[in-house]
Amino acid sequence: MIVHENLKIANMTRSASGTIDRPGRNVAAKSGLNRSVLDAGWGVLLQVLAHKAESAGRELIAVDPRNTSRTCARCGHCAKENRVTQAEFACTACGHTAHADVNAATNIIRAGLALRRAAEAA
Ligand SMILES: [Zn+2]
């Protein structure tokens, strides 16, 4: 089973609000993110992954990306303050620390397993 966040590529690449003359907030950061998302070819990656998963007889599950990076994988506490830096996760409720990507990946696989259980029960 492979689980990924159901990221909306159109939303991720939408330009930050503002104009050249009156830039919105985080225009530079947003354009950098846009470039990296487009460079990575996220949609193409997911298409290839879907074909590979199918030919290997594996499930590919997309989960809601909301709060996967700010929820503690140990206790479930959800707060933006849990995210110390881009790379660092430190739960303000239970003290759990992990690399932010590892913490989020734990939440993502858990959400995928829950969706699969729900589908089996239906
Ligand atoms: Zn916690």
CA distance 67 to 12: 16
Query: Band of the pLDDT at 20, cuts 50, 70, 90?
Result: low
**Could you tell me the residue ranges of all domains in the chain?**
1-60, 66-122
Query: Band of the pLDDT at 45, cuts 50, 70, 90?
Result: confident
Q: How many Å lie between the centroid of ligand 1 and the Cα of residue 100? A: 13
Q: How many Å lie between the centroid of ligand 1 and the Cα of residue 97? A: 8
- pLDDT above 80 for 33: no
pTM score of the predicted model: 0.73
Residues, CB-to-ion distance under 5 Å, ligand 1: 72, 74-75, 77, 91, 93-94, 96
Calculate mean pLDDT across residues 43-48. 85
What pLDDT was estimated at residue 30?
62
